[in-house]
Structure 1
């Protein structure tokens, strides 16, 4: 294995808005979207920033500028609250403190929601989805920095500390068994999309497009047509492999393109909890679902489960659909 260029935390997605604000530059710019909204008697506002270690953008349209601005403010406040609860990018988050101390009293409600969902998905998938894979991360990162893969003995040691049953979620406390650590990165952005959309609904916003690193859409595009979502090729982000049209609800993608430990992307940030290695068949999985949390969790589980078992998993959830992208064959 040759030394990798460097592990880089790019966007955790393969999605671009084919007719949404994320694609505004290629479709005439934001001014064109505002003009389209104005033709329907609406005002359009977009607010961008940083969250979850990446860029995010919230877009809303409506007849009341003050209401739109309040919705955007509350949407960003919701993301900040989720970061404070469960972001590993913040050493002071509730999740970071839980990993550090091994227990947490009176856990943040957002953390409880995410953790309860994670444990439910772990049980449903017989551990294919498992929030306790976090200890694998430093082992792989350290090995990759040396241009190597982890020694099997090192992986065996870490695997002994992985298992969702090592987490105890009590009514007012979370306890981890010694050596256990959690990551909720496979869920946090989809959950954020849910919370932002809830904030928008509370302000009466009907037309919105949310990009938290995963996507949500409600109502219609500024020109009155349905939203569409393009799925970019994991190996060529400038090319689309498919377009979801119309797009409403939520979509999430998991793939080998984001943080990878080898230039061929055989080793990446998604781990099979049973082996400690990355699943090697799929390059990406996109799931659409009624909630961002469900879309996010199912997409990660499908990467580990593969096509057949992944399709069976998604089929068991009403209103969900899945699209698989196979890993390219070696030249």
Structure 2
């Protein structure tokens, strides 16, 4: 999965007593927390049906985890990767998730590729047996990375021999969308869903104010460098500090792989937070824009316009799109960070 350790990249302030900022909500929410998709998840929902909502969300996410896991031998993705034929019949949910993922892969011209799993594994980011692969090995594995060779039809996933899939870059976003639908179908107008780095803010707080979301500081993931006020959105973050190792050459290698080169990204970005109405879009683009780099990320945003971003670079500067600039505030201790509003 995209984030294999339980470090929250972006943590809703509602879940952190020490980080609550002027939170004065009324009514007792239904709450739940558990581990799924290789991370810790927490939910709070308000309203008459809140207990049922939280229970349904847990059940839905655990089912998605059972379908999308690359290590569970009963999952659809595991069966795809261990297939003995070109096509595998999968659950309709898996087919939908793969189909939506392929659409995003195409929209970002392959800088996100759900078939990059063999290379991610080769670097040791799956089993934590970190190593720097020989270039010849990477070149060999790159022949198996090409999302355009994956197709979905009538519940069948078809791909070339030796290709493998991983939905880690989209799984929590897809789960967020499913959770939001559960809230809507139960007329839940106020909920905050923390899917371990992907936050879904449903409506506003019961008192009518916006939710406050803290964006983790890459230098200290237990702290925040800023806060975003939002409602009815999904915010997802990818960071180079989430999972990495230092090689014998003294260089740091992060878990975000460029599927076009087979090597971990080494650019000017420290973290990318995407804010949109769609969970799978936010989750996927947080990785894709990280791979793109700042200039191409800004260009992609200008051409798309259906999401916003907060990018923290390694020079202590925040690049934030104009639509959410007024809703973002730096933490008091990080006032030295410069802000560049992208228009």
- After superposition, the Cα gap between the structure-2 partners of 1:314 and 1:241, relative to the gap in structure 1 and judged at 3 Å, is same
Alignment of 1:133-152 (within 5 A): 133-141=116-124, 148-152=131-135
**Alignment equivalent of 1:239, drawn from 201, 223, 245:** 223
Deviation at 1:25, TM superposition (A): 4.8
Deviation at 1:287, TM superposition (A): 0.4
1:189 aligns with 2:172: yes
- Higher RCO structure, 1 or 2 (CA under 8 Å, sep 6+): 1
Is the strand fraction higher in 1 or 2?
2
1:268 aligns with 2:251: no
- 1:148, 1:250 → 2: CA distance? 34
Q: Report the equivalent of 2:96.
A: 113
Aligned residues: 309
Deviation at 1:260, TM superposition (A): 1.5
Contact kept in structure 2, 1:143 and 1:149, CA below 8 Å? no
1:73 aligns with 2:55: yes
**Alignment equivalent of 2:16, drawn from 23, 26, 32:** 23
Q: Report the equivalent of 1:288.
A: 275
Alignment of 1:42-121 (within 5 A): 42-62=27-47, 64=48, 67-101=49-83, 103-121=86-104
Alignment of 1:208-247 (within 5 A): 208-213=191-196, 214-247=198-231
- 1:143, 1:243 → 2: CA distance? 31
Deviation at 1:169, TM superposition (A): 1.9
- After superposition, the Cα gap between the structure-2 partners of 1:142 and 1:123, relative to the gap in structure 1 and judged at 3 Å, is closer
- After superposition, the Cα gap between the structure-2 partners of 1:240 and 1:146, relative to the gap in structure 1 and judged at 3 Å, is closer
Q: Report the equivalent of 1:5.
A: none
Deviation at 1:190, TM superposition (A): 0.9
Q: Report the equivalent of 1:315.
A: 302
Q: Secondary structure in 2 aligned to 1:261?
A: strand
- 2:25, 2:16 → 1: CA distance? 16
- 2:228, 2:12 → 1: CA distance? 10
1:254 aligns with 2:238: yes
Q: Secondary structure in 2 aligned to 1:126?
A: coil
- 2:128, 2:188 → 1: CA distance? 47
Deviation at 1:284, TM superposition (A): 1.1
Deviation at 1:139, TM superposition (A): 1.3
- After superposition, the Cα gap between the structure-2 partners of 1:265 and 1:45, relative to the gap in structure 1 and judged at 3 Å, is farther
Of 287-296 and 197-206, more deviation after overlay is shown by 197-206
Question: RMSD of the TM alignment (CA)?
Answer: 2.6
Contact kept in structure 1, 2:237 and 2:272, CA below 8 Å? yes
Q: Report the equivalent of 2:314.
A: 327
- 1:153, 1:12 → 2: CA distance? 33
Q: Which runs of 5+ in 1 are unaligned?
A: 1-7
- 1:235, 1:145 → 2: CA distance? 22
Contact kept in structure 2, 1:61 and 1:207, CA below 8 Å? yes
